Structure 1
Amino acid sequence: MIYSDVSHFLRDGKAALAKGPVALILLEDDVEVASTIAHQVGCGFASVIVIGAEDIVGSGDDSPIVHRVAHDMMVDNALTDVVNPIIAAASGRWFYYGYNAEYLYYPFCEHRSVGEMVAFNMEERRDTIMTFVVDLYADDLSAAPNAVSRDDAHLDKSGYYALARHEKEQGYLERQLDFYGGLRWRFEEHVPYERRRIDRVGLFRAKPGLKLRPDHTFNDAEYNTYACPWHNNLTANICSFRTAKALKRNPGSAREIGSFTWRNSEKFAWGSQQLLDLGLMETGQWF
């Protein structure tokens, strides 16, 4: 069954939100839809809600935990128009959100479920897990013109940095940083300034009044922090072809980019240990 829109899903399919954590997969196109769904199912989510245009939302895994909602994710404000009503309908539930051709990795994900990670995080009195988007890209763009190849996926092993987050009225914000790196840093002339950050609060616990904003931050300042005041917390990665796809789809950047590979490229091993070794995520106190 494909629900006709988010309101239809929240009226007739809300039982899918009864247990968590829940994954929201937002489909912008038909690239790697099946692999994205299968990966998140394998992480151990209680439900996987796939949301996208009706002509693509029906593809992929037929698992009974997968539910499908029709909504065009390429229209203005699609992210907040989809996620915020679901937050409001499921207070207390843990959510992950990501796009197609994006894959969640967290410490020990090969042996532990996302539910185990969330349970540990709650013991640390944290309602969020900060995720950092790690750009993936094909090494050979002649073989993969859209820059997407799971067999030939590469990532940047260095070039990541953070700056203190500053707001005009509040000054520097406590335990908040703007993180940069990957393709958005190397090809920043093709990426609008407001879209260059790679930090995303990709795992969070819904509560009354909570709202996701278009820049992937929340209206609650504590939700945007990377760690609690007393020690570092675990973090996770969203390994994503999304930026590479966009740079090769855009006529201006596509003509100027002959390869994404550089001296600090490394083949992606599709596992958590590589990401831990590169310092792209950390275990915190979770062992």
Structure 2
Amino acid sequence: MPAPALKAFLAAPGPALASGPIALVFAEDEVELASTLRHHLASGFRSILLFAPDAFGLPPDLAEDPALHRISHDLASGDSLTEAVNAVIDSAPGLWMYYCYNAEYLFHPFRETRSVGELLRFHAEERRDAMLTYVIDLYAPDLARHPDAVSLRQAHLDRSGYYALARPDPGKAGHPKERQLDFYGGLRWRFEEHIPADRRRIDRIALFRAKPGLRLQENHTFSDEEYNTYACPWHNNLTAVIASFRTAKALKRNPGSTFDIDSFQWQNSTPFEWHSQQLLELGLMEPGQWF
């Protein structure tokens, strides 16, 4: 039976939007789609909305999971992620939400013992309505064995090479935006000649609380400037990581880059341990005042 289109789903969402946090997973292809869904179900999301073409298959245990709600959506045919996220925002004001693609995995401080719901309750107590996440590239070390650059068991990441630049404020010539930075690093930095300039940033406001009038923009920022800040004015706040094979996968799939890349390995590559402590020790996310 085909999944409903987004408009039909939102007309009668049932329990899917009854309480948060909810995750919106956008499937560009079927690569590690099942592992992506299982990871986020285990993270504690109350509901997961899967945006995927009807042809994409799922294992029976996931297809029958009551927390998973499938929506017919095809990014390759022009369906928009931004418009879909904004439509869900309009339908569920007040709920905490998260969005990602397949082959992406959310990690937050102390993930192994604390759920994403606990994370966001603390964040809300600090009067924060959005959380900065860094998209940290994962890649397979042996592209001959894994030509799509994806391997969960042998995943590597860059342990250094990340940096931030002040985010210019178009309304104030010569002055940056307050508490906003553009972050760079990973494969988008090392292979920047293959990445359009407007897609090289690795920051994404992936966790946020919906409210009337809020709009996600095409560059992964929001219409409310406070949502785009990395911390409140008083102290550091929590941040999180999205460990992602998406860039590696795209660089090996794109005919313009695949033949120029024999390996993603370099002197600062290190195995990914699939544990929040490694990301904290590398300084890739911030626990803030949460202990």
Secondary structure of the residue that 2:88 maps to in structure 1?
Answer: helix
- Superposed CA deviations along residues 22-73 of structure 1, whole A, max 9, x for unmatched, are 0010000010000000000000000011101111165572321011000112
Deviation at 1:172, TM superposition (A): 1.2
The residue number in structure 2 matching 1:212 is 216
The residue number in structure 2 matching 1:155 is 157
Secondary structure of the residue that 1:251 maps to in structure 2?
Answer: coil
CA pair 108-240 structure 1, distance change in 2 beyond 3 A: same
CA distance in 2, matches of 1:123, 1:167: 29
1:276 and 2:280 matched: yes
Which residue identity is paired with 1:227? A
Consecutive unaligned residues in structure 1, runs of 5 or more: none
Mapped contact 2:34–2:58 kept (Cα < 8 A): no
Mapped contact 2:73–2:79 kept (Cα < 8 A): no
The residue number in structure 2 matching 1:87 is 89
Secondary structure of the residue that 1:120 maps to in structure 2?
Answer: helix
Secondary structure of the residue that 1:226 maps to in structure 2?
Answer: coil
Higher mean C-alpha deviation, range 45-54 or range 97-106: 45-54
Deviation at 1:274, TM superposition (A): 0.4
CA distance in 1, matches of 2:170, 2:34: 43
Secondary structure of the residue that 2:289 maps to in structure 1?
Answer: coil
Deviation at 1:14, TM superposition (A): 4.4
CA pair 141-206 structure 1, distance change in 2 beyond 3 A: same
CA pair 59-215 structure 1, distance change in 2 beyond 3 A: farther
Q: Match for 2:235 among 231, 235, 238? A: 231
Identical counterparts, % of pairs: 59
Q: Match for 2:104 among 102, 105, 113? A: 102
Which residue identity is paired with 1:108? F
Moved over 6 A (4+): none
Which residue identity is paired with 1:159? G
CA distance in 2, matches of 1:132, 1:80: 19
Aligned residue-pair number: 287
The residue number in structure 2 matching 1:126 is 128
Provide TM-score, normalisation by structure 2: 0.96
Higher mean C-alpha deviation, range 239-248 or range 51-60: 51-60
CA pair 169-4 structure 1, distance change in 2 beyond 3 A: same
Q: Match for 1:200 among 176, 199, 204? A: 204
CA distance in 1, matches of 2:159, 2:43: 24
Mapped contact 2:138–2:244 kept (Cα < 8 A): yes
Higher mean C-alpha deviation, range 70-79 or range 255-264: 70-79
Secondary structure of the residue that 1:138 maps to in structure 2?
Answer: coil
Q: RMSD across aligned C-alpha pairs, in angstroms?
A: 1.2
CA pair 77-194 structure 1, distance change in 2 beyond 3 A: farther
- Superposed CA deviations along residues 86-123 of structure 1, whole A, max 9, x for unmatched, are 00000000001000000000000000000000000010
Secondary structure of the residue that 2:183 maps to in structure 1?
Answer: strand
The residue number in structure 2 matching 1:143 is 145
The residue number in structure 1 matching 2:31 is 31
Higher mean C-alpha deviation, range 46-55 or range 28-37: 46-55
CA distance in 2, matches of 1:166, 1:266: 33
CA pair 93-2 structure 1, distance change in 2 beyond 3 A: farther
Higher mean C-alpha deviation, range 10-19 or range 107-116: 10-19
Deviation at 1:77, TM superposition (A): 6.2
The residue number in structure 2 matching 1:45 is 45
The residue number in structure 2 matching 1:252 is 256
Which residue identity is paired with 1:28? E
Q: Match for 2:65 among 58, 63, 66? A: 63
Higher mean C-alpha deviation, range 76-85 or range 185-194: 76-85
The residue number in structure 2 matching 1:78 is 80
Mapped contact 2:31–2:102 kept (Cα < 8 A): yes
The residue number in structure 2 matching 1:173 is 177
